[in-house]
Amino acid sequence: MEARLNVFGSPTGAKVIKHFGAAGKAIADSGLPFAVQELVKIRASQINGCGFCLDMHTKDAEAAGESFQRLYMVAAWREAKVFTDAERAALELAEQGTRIADGSGVPDEVWRNAAKHYDEEQLAGLVALIALINAYNRVNVLLQQPAGDYRVGMFG
């Protein structure tokens, strides 16, 4: 299987992905815990069916010390005892932000719960992260980017 388009081979695509990367760096510097960032990326990627991002972010999370149990349980986070209240709040916000077309936006109670656990900088990072991973998911799904070959750190 090959992608429909080599996004890095296109001047426009490469430029957009470069800006996505810069946004990712700003998010990484937001103070939002790395584990939360990876859990959110994994959950949004599960919802969106992005195998490429699931491959990348599960491997990155594992390399950073995340347990297999927690990685396996992300899809069932509501029933899993392995996540903190703060992680649950981020996962709920990620789900609501990913599925905005399915309802009437993000409920105030979901936002208030996230705001109990994260300061304004972290919330800004979380919101940007949810938007960014959804953008990456859409690019990869549209292009049918194959999954399975990601190596930790291969994108810098």
Which pLDDT band holds residue 1 (cuts at 50, 70, 90)? confident
Mean pLDDT of 118-141: 98
- Identify the three-state secondary structure at position 30: coil
Amino acid found at 90:
A
Res 144: pLDDT: 96
104, pLDDT greater than 90: no
Q: Can you list the domains of the chain with their CATH numbers?
A: 10-143 (1.20.1290.10)
- Give percent of the chain above pLDDT 90: 93
DSSP of 59-116: HHHHHTT--HHHHHHGGGTTT-TTS-HHHHHHHHHHHHHHTGGGTTS--HHHHHHHHH
CB 41 within 8 A of CB 133: yes
Residue 145 burial (CB < 10 Å; 0-12/13-18/19+)? Answer: buried
What's the pLDDT tens digit per position in 60-83?
A: 999 999 999 999 999 999 999 999
